[in-house]
Homo-oligomer: A and B are copies of this chain.
């Protein structure tokens, strides 16, 4: 490794003190594209979550990622494309977590319970992911809300199928399509509870999931009379 010759960057600047911490970032380290893309996305999710889409500046994302702006444009395109990539990645991750938890072979209420629990666990551990997905994607209109709609569609399908299967043995079996609004309501209730949870910490993910499960499975009608739902 040969020490690089003096480049123009070494010329001392009149305002040198503003560049004090530049040393901490290694210069010109060649990394494979996939690693770079993940660094960028990680930084972008954090910044978008903290600032919101518009206030977030490409400068801040570039500094947070430790990668120069031209690289970001080269790898992930414009700011809008970057934001879409963030939404997609986070949506996939959350869905994957829930799908994995729901499984395939349990009774419907058990599956729902596990899904809800994993949802609360995930959002607790990945605040930024959730903020980007829930708050930002919704507010920025097309084409971003379309990405969110796609996530909701998949989440609702998961739930609709699950609920429809639960009615299969009853005397009023229902189609997944009929369960859609209920699934939508459930998703919204979960989203709202996460927000409430953030402002009222001190509850476990299990506790949160239990509350929601009781509400949607037993209903207020049962709850007010003292009947509640318990995991087995």
Residues of A within 8 A of B (CB): 8, 11-15, 32-34, 37, 51-55, 75, 108-109, 112, 135-136, 138-141, 149, 163, 166-167, 170-172, 180-182, 184-193, 195-197, 199-200, 208, 211-212, 215-226, 229
Q: Could you pull out 17 A-B pairs where Cβ atoms are within 8 angstroms?
A: A8-B32, A11-B34, A13-B33, A13-B34, A13-B37, A136-B139, A139-B140, A180-B200, A181-B196, A181-B211, A185-B189, A185-B190, A188-B193, A192-B192, A215-B216, A218-B221, A221-B222
> Does B181 contact A193, Cβ atoms closer than 8 Å?
yes
Residues of B within 8 A of A163 (CB): 220, 224
Closest CB in chain B relative to A28 CB, distance in Å = 14
Most buried by B among A163, A171, A200, A215: A215
Residues of B within 8 A of A208 (CB): 181
Residues of B within 8 A of A51 (CB): 141
> Does B180 contact A188, Cβ atoms closer than 8 Å?
no
Closest CB in chain B relative to A142 CB, distance in Å = 11
**Docked complex Cα distance between A52 and B171 (Å):** 47
> Does A185 contact B138, Cβ atoms closer than 8 Å?
no
> Does B220 contact A182, Cβ atoms closer than 8 Å?
yes
Q: Which residue of B lies closest to A218 (CB)?
A: B219
Asked whether A166 and B224 contact (CB < 8 A) given A138-B138, A138-B139, the answer is yes
Closest CB in chain B relative to A190 CB, distance in Å = 7
Closest CB in chain B relative to A114 CB, distance in Å = 15
> Does A52 contact B139, Cβ atoms closer than 8 Å?
yes
> Does B192 contact A188, Cβ atoms closer than 8 Å?
yes
Q: Which residue of B lies closest to A203 (CB)?
A: B181
**Docked complex Cα distance between A162 and B181 (Å):** 24
> Does B139 contact A199, Cβ atoms closer than 8 Å?
no
**Docked complex Cα distance between A226 and B170 (Å):** 7
**Docked complex Cα distance between A211 and B140 (Å):** 29
- What 3 A-B pairs have minimum CB-CB distances, sorted nearest first? A188-B192, A219-B219, A139-B139
Closest CB in chain B relative to A56 CB, distance in Å = 10
